[in-house]
Structure 1
Amino acid sequence: MSAEPTPAPVAAEQPQQQPPSTTPIPPSAEAGPSTLRVSVIDKWLKPNGPPKGVSFGARKLGDEDDVWSNNAWDHAELPDDFNERAAEIMEKHRSTPVPEAKVEDYNARPAAFWDAFYSNHADQFFKNRRWLPLEFPELVSCCEPDAGPKVVLEVGCGAGNTVFPLLMNNENPDLRIFATDYSATAVKVVQSSELYPRAEHGLGVLNASVWDISAKPAEGSGVSYSLPEGIEPGTVDVLTVIYVLSALHPKEWEQAIHNLYTALKPGGLLCIRDYGRHDLAQLRIKQPRLLDVPNFYIRGDGTRVYFFETEELGGMLTAPARGQSEGNMFNVHQLAEDRRLIVNRKEQLKMYRIWLQAKATKIE
């Protein structure tokens, strides 16, 4: 559903206690999922593996390092004046919002803008997410030959950036993958692939369908949720939501999280990655692009994007399940910022990418 950057892979999960922390995701000397078969990891990572002696997500700028010696540094510390400079830009955004007459059009038909996006970029937008084994090893473990029956749901599949790498590296004959997007054009891109509905080696089955993550149930249905084609309540083992929640209006978040919660098995894993507050993409947005909610913008192509703080995302995951007055929907095992310093050596510029990443398991 959402256009994505190339992320700085997170080397290892750091479980955190509630309330969620804003501590950036740290590097680890033990990068990579040690419990997975080497064959699966090698197939995924080897084509673009890191230079010898360098671990993904572990290039951290030290006091003695020359900042201009590399194009990017992982787990970056923000400069002391970063928030002050960002606040100045945010004030400019607030002073020149999108005209009210246009806001309703952008919010009323978001799928149409994503259809146009994928119509224009269908052949260029597929990115093999080689960082998935390091960021979400639990997802890749579903590909193990002895993993048994597993159901994976990718919400906001776009051009198939998660599901096709899964299929191409899968060794589990009992893996079922569901890909959804509220752009019908994106779903057609996935369905037109030579890998659809099965991988070349015949392992794994993929089903792609149109679904709005924030959809409410049909009136009179007697249920509180909406689920994609082929998914029954409580059946999904791992659910990925990567650069997707940011495409929703904040008033749609509650229903979206309820739908995801309903789809997952008790103990099922929710994997989220999205844009963080004051990410470079937010600071570079031109005016007037601010919509009817702070930190919620329209891109030049008409698609929407929100920039999260960890507290917002954590609050959604730890809210009580619908119909309950207390208790959390999810146990949050990871919720933190992932920051990368991008360097323009020619112009001597420093720029900061800020993403949020979360892992949470369903409580029931």
Structure 2
Amino acid sequence: MESSPEARFQTDNTMTQKKQPRQQLSKAMEHMRFAVTADPIAPISSTSTSSPPPPPPPPPSEKTGAEPDAYGIPSTFAPVRKPAARSHSPSNNQKRTDPFAFGSRFLEDGDDIFEFNAWDHVETDETYRQFSLEQYERQRQDPVSEFDRKRFNAEPEKWWNVFYKNNKTNFFKNRKWLSQEFPILDEITKEGSPAALVLEVGAGAGNSAFPILEKSKNKGLKIHACDFSKKAVELIRGHELYNPELIQADVWDVAASPDSENGGLPPGIKEGSVDVVLMIFIFSALNPKQWDQAVRNIWKVLKPGGQVLFRDYGRGDLAQVRFKKGRWMEDNFYVRGDGTRVYFFEQEELESIWGGKRPIPSECKGNRAEDGKEGPVPTFDIVHFGVDRRMLVNRQRRLKMYRCWMQAVFRKDADAAGSATEVATSTLRQDKTEAVEAAEEES
């Protein structure tokens, strides 16, 4: 029996609906659907906002000007980048590399944005930019309550303990890409390399430390993994690869005051003894009032010539834009639903903080010399800085998600005249001498 036209229409319509991509979003993103939904017509228009691809990097053999740092390892700071590629060509098949090489997939006019699930160096479109500005204003108009502001800032380690208790080791993937983004990690893990000490700040469950350890063939390499969450440290110590001769995990707050235990330094770490400090998505978890003390502590532990390997959130990242009411604490600083805090940085801001150019707020001036004068602000050389703007694509939901991360290498000058403590002590002696001479002149 032949079905009626109405029945056929309903059947065809049902089949069409089944073929349509799933459109539902999480509650955290439903309010911004229009700003992140990709055009159903896949190829992008001629008004592409992609940045033009930079020239491909020279082969390793052609790199010049790499000066040795304090421990005799070539200072190659820029990430490893392959030539621009969008195809599945066997000669440069980006989908099959492990770890995946970032920074080589450029979006150009006429490309099908759903060909891959991620594109590099993509600027946000005008709709998203305008929505972001409006969203920031809405966030400021409905901030976190004063009660919550105090409790989230008073004991930040409490909320991270809960986080790691709930997520254990399953939340983050192992960061196998670290040696590509930070070539020094490739150098110090090679067989026959000089002994080196790596301090990871905010080590979490060990998703950075253990891949470095597995890769290492350097018998003289040791990793000191620190986190201010006791639960995170327990997870590292309970890992099957944990070997105290190769890796040590301790509880430490990078913003610890100089009058705390061990002079504010990690347990067992001496001043000027660390070759590399790894800071992956940790600086953003600090209150802005803690930045200066954290930078001072990092300066103290590093050898002259030592490097800080830094990666964190950038302003305009999707994670910032999608925050709704009751999360804003101050500009670019938020509390997540689980009680952990996060800050989103500008490039100039980080260059100022680590380059020693940021004015110190009066409430942050806690590292004072005996006569009330501030110790010198450490000044790191900014030897590499990159802004990683990436567009992730969800084919099923037809979404485009703009992410933004800051990545840098900061270096303690190899000719640094002693530690910050030594300079501060010298300054104090000089001030006292001048005070005595002035008193003698008055008498």
Instruction: State the TM bucket, normalised to the shorter chain.
Output: 0.7 to 0.9
The residue type paired with residue 399 of structure 2 is L
Find the partner of 1:351 among 383, 401, 419: 401
Query: Is it true that 1:93 corresponds to 2:139 in the alignment?
Result: yes
Provide, for residues 271-329 of structure 1, a one-character-per-residue CA deviation record: whole Å limited to 9, x for no partner. 110000010001112321111x211111111100011111111111110697337xx61
Q: 1:68 aligns to what SS in structure 2?
A: coil
Query: 1:25 & 1:139 partners in 2: Cα distance?
Result: 29
**TM-score normalised by structure 1 residue count:** 0.81
Contact 2:197 2:221 in 1 (8 A): yes
Query: 1:166 & 1:256 partners in 2: Cα distance?
Result: 24
Determine the structure 2 residue equivalent to 1:318. Answer: 355
Determine the structure 2 residue equivalent to 1:150. Answer: 196
1:192-203 correspondence runs (5 A) = 192-197=238-243
Find the partner of 2:256 among 172, 195, 215: 215
Query: Is it true that 1:296 corresponds to 2:333 in the alignment?
Result: yes
Percent identity between the two aligned chains: 43
CA 280–123 in structure 1, closer or farther in 2 if over 3 Å, else same: same
Query: 1:271 & 1:28 partners in 2: Cα distance?
Result: 24
Q: 2:184 aligns to what SS in structure 1?
A: helix
Provide, for residues 303-361 of structure 1, a one-character-per-residue CA deviation record: whole Å limited to 9, x for no partner. 00011111111111110697337xx6111011231011112333433220000001011
Contact 1:248 1:304 in 2 (8 A): yes
Residue 137 of structure 1 and its aligned partner are, at CA, apart by 1.3
Query: 1:32 & 1:358 partners in 2: Cα distance?
Result: 22
Q: How many residues align?
A: 318
1:120-269 correspondence runs (5 A) = 120-197=166-243, 205-218=246-259, 226-269=264-307
Determine the structure 2 residue equivalent to 1:60. Answer: 106
Residue 25 of structure 1 and its aligned partner are, at CA, apart by 11
Query: 1:102 & 1:264 partners in 2: Cα distance?
Result: 36
**TM-score normalised by structure 2 residue count:** 0.67
Query: 1:147 & 1:67 partners in 2: Cα distance?
Result: 43
Residue 33 of structure 1 and its aligned partner are, at CA, apart by 6.9
The residue type paired with residue 242 of structure 2 is Y
Determine the structure 1 residue equivalent to 2:344. Answer: 307
CA 282–211 in structure 1, closer or farther in 2 if over 3 Å, else same: same
Determine the structure 1 residue equivalent to 2:33. Answer: none
CA 144–28 in structure 1, closer or farther in 2 if over 3 Å, else same: farther
Which has the larger Rg?
2
1:111-126 correspondence runs (5 A) = 111-126=157-172
5+ residue gaps, structure 1: 1-23, 37-49, 199-203
Q: Which has the higher helix share?
A: 2
Q: CA-atom RMSD, angstroms?
A: 2.6
Contact 1:156 1:180 in 2 (8 A): yes
Query: 2:58 & 2:333 partners in 1: Cα distance?
Result: 34
Query: 1:111 & 1:152 partners in 2: Cα distance?
Result: 23
Query: 1:242 & 1:100 partners in 2: Cα distance?
Result: 29
Which gives a bigger RCO, structure 1 or 2 (Cα 8 Å, sep 6+)? 1
Residue 125 of structure 1 and its aligned partner are, at CA, apart by 2.5
Query: 1:127 & 1:260 partners in 2: Cα distance?
Result: 26
Query: Is it true that 1:340 corresponds to 2:390 in the alignment?
Result: yes
Q: 1:336 aligns to what SS in structure 2?
A: strand
CA 115–78 in structure 1, closer or farther in 2 if over 3 Å, else same: same
